[in-house]
Chain A
Amino acid sequence: MSTATLNYPKPQKPWRPKQRDLVPTYLGVIATLLGTWALVEFTGLAGKLGAFGAAVLCTTVVSTFLAGRSRGKQAAKNAAVASLITSLALLAMFPVISILGTVLVRGTKGLYTGFFTTDMGLASVNDPLNVGGILHAIVGTFLMIVIATVISVPLGISTAIYLTEIRGPGSRLIRFLVQAMSGVPSIVAGLFIYSAIITGSGRGFNGLWGALALAILMLPTVARTAEEVLLLIAEDLREAGLALGATQWRTVAMVVVPAAKSGLITAMILGIARIAGETAPLLFTTGGGDATNLNPVDGVMGSIPFAIWKALISGSAESNARAWASILVLLVLVMILFFSARRLGKARR
């Protein structure tokens, strides 16, 4: 036994191609590069998209030929479909990477440490880039997100529990309305708050009204995601709880919701990511102030999307740079939210 243990072979992956078998692949890569170069050089294909198209064409042709030569017609078809699908996936990535790249390049120019600690209350749009910042916008966005979350998460999760656990009267109608609500254009949410509250009550713009408009947008996202998460919980678990003599309330509270916890947190973060970049509902509701305002029920309140809009339409080179820097801050914020949603979704599984 012990001698056999010493002679164990190393783990191998014989299904991976060997160096020797890869020679045609290397030649294929060279042929693809040459072919792409030739197509771009000698035909009408031009620009980044033209080069991409030429590369897709050459990759598909070469990989199909190689697979067909070594393993026959079916393998050739398989290779053709595989390279086309890979190309389409890359094409879908193209705008995303392009946007991220542009924002990163342009946004970093407007950044300095004071950008996060000062506001535009005393700075004007033509001031140099080391004066003023978006503290007021970060504070406003943060406060409004917190308020909108506090309002829409309990409502959304309660709706989801009603739809999946209680399944009471009107479930289908409610499900339909929630789905319809997620299609409401964001500016309509702003207009609703404006006409229902601001013109009605005569009270001026403030952060709370902005947060209410955001909550209207966030609610269907939270409710629908939470419903899907709760539907994934196996029926066995509910039956196991009920079979121990528990009431439905105890089963939902102690078995179903804890089992779906990480998914419900994901629902919340997806909802936040949905509203973090919204501009339209804030136009008619917050007033978009330039000074830092910590009181959501009194006075105008800034937000990052509003600050971007304001800086962009003011037109000076400095405020343009400030707008790009704000876009970068907002993108990083949303990306942090998405990554934490994924981490929380994976944890405790």
Chain B
Amino acid sequence: MTDNVKPSSLASIAAGNANRVPGKNALGTGLEARSVHAWFGKNHALANVSLDFAAGTVTALIGPSGCGKSTFIRTLNRMHEFIPTAAMAGEVLLDGRDIYASGVDVTKIRLKIGMVFQKPNPFPSMTIGENVLSGLKLAQLKQSNKEELMEECLVRAGLWNEVKDRLGAHGGSLSGGQQQRLCIARSLAVNPQVLLMDEPCSALDPGSTLRIEETIRELSETMTIIIVTHNMQQAARISDYTAFFLADGHPGMMIETGPTSQIFSNPKDKRTENYVTGRFG
């Protein structure tokens, strides 16, 4: 531990997973954002973010509300363009190829880069089992052993034991935490390379949060995960890398990025240090 920053509890949590090896079984070679900017109308929401997400790593995006974290991850799977006034600049490379290049089929991109939203949103008209397999059905993918896949996804999302006896019940009958794990299981069924998570635990109780964090750790063996979180301890517990965003009167910017243990123990930027030590935000 260096002497100018006191070893905080966050730093020691982060140090606990400093030696984790990125998942070797992860698909693809990862995701790379190159000087990404985002606008809503005239409002410059995000400026010049370059981040490299190596395959099989977990990256946490932290920062105060309104700093552009959510906007940023929505540019990573082209959900940003759904807002009519939205504009962007820069490149997002998946396996070295720009997902914004002309001629790229956006539906194929979203199959490879899945997303879990802040509020659990299981499809209300479908049962638990149908929800898990809904991605296959919506994208009209062929799958021979559906039952096996359904079980596998629910097991990986840490939900199998709780729902295995009531797969025919509606998704809405589950608790909030279970619904969110169902949404994770749903995004796993199409086997994405990258999973984007926008504050997936912000509406959940600590027990459910813990379960989802375990799920994320296990998933990172086989996929690249990018998670927006307001919970600093969560970032320290589960991520390999952390990026700190800040708006501060300007467009949101990425202030600092590095291994999570370093961001929480020895940040280079004063603003990052103030934020992770809880002096603001």
Name the 6 nearest CB pairs between A and B, nearest first: A11-B87, A14-B100, A9-B89, A15-B81, A11-B39, A71-B105
State whether A21 and B89 are in contact (beta carbons under 8 Å apart), knowing that A4-B48, A8-B48 are contacts in the complex. no
| Chain B residue contacts of A20, Cβ below 8 A | 102
CA distance A13 to B83 in the complex (A): 11
CA distance A18 to B101 in the complex (A): 10
A21's nearest neighbour on chain B, judged by CB, is B102
| Chain B residue contacts of A72, Cβ below 8 A | 105
B185 at the interface (CB under 8 A from A): no
Total B residues in contact with A, Cβ cutoff 8 Å: 22
CA distance A305 to B101 in the complex (A): 59
B106 at the interface (CB under 8 A from A): yes
CA distance A71 to B100 in the complex (A): 15
B249 at the interface (CB under 8 A from A): no
Q: How far is the CB of B59 from chain A (nearest CB, A)?
A: 23
In the complex, are the beta carbons of B87 and A17 less than 8 A apart?
no
Across the interface, A70 reaches (CB within 8 A) one of B81, B87, B103, namely B103
B105's nearest neighbour on chain A, judged by CB, is A71
State which residues 128-173 of A face B: CB under 8 Å.
Answer: none
State which residues 1-23 of A face B: CB under 8 Å.
Answer: 4, 8-15, 17-18, 20-21
State which residues 73-124 of B face A: CB under 8 Å.
Answer: 78, 81, 86-90, 100-103, 105-107
Using CB atoms and an 8 Å cutoff, list the residues of chain A in contact with chain B.
4, 8-15, 17-18, 20-21, 70-72, 74-75
Across the interface, B100 reaches (CB within 8 A) one of A9, A11, A15, namely A15
In the complex, are the beta carbons of A14 and B47 less than 8 A apart?
no
In the complex, are the beta carbons of A13 and B48 less than 8 A apart?
no
Using CB atoms and an 8 Å cutoff, list the residues of chain B in contact with chain A.
35, 37, 39, 44, 47-48, 78, 81, 86-90, 100-103, 105-107, 139-140
State whether A9 and B103 are in contact (beta carbons under 8 Å apart), knowing that A4-B48, A15-B78, A15-B81 are contacts in the complex. no
CA distance A4 to B44 in the complex (A): 14
Across the interface, A12 reaches (CB within 8 A) one of B78, B88, B103, namely B88
A11's nearest neighbour on chain B, judged by CB, is B87
| Chain A residue contacts of B105, Cβ below 8 A | 71-72, 75
State whether A12 and B102 are in contact (beta carbons under 8 Å apart), knowing that A4-B48, A74-B107, A74-B140 are contacts in the complex. no
- Given contacts A11-B88, A15-B81, A18-B102, could you give 17 more A-B pairs where the C-beta distance is less than 8 Å? A4-B48, A8-B37, A8-B44, A8-B47, A9-B89, A11-B89, A12-B88, A12-B89, A13-B86, A13-B87, A14-B101, A14-B102, A15-B100, A15-B106, A20-B102, A70-B103, A75-B105
CA distance A15 to B39 in the complex (A): 14
A7's nearest neighbour on chain B, judged by CB, is B48
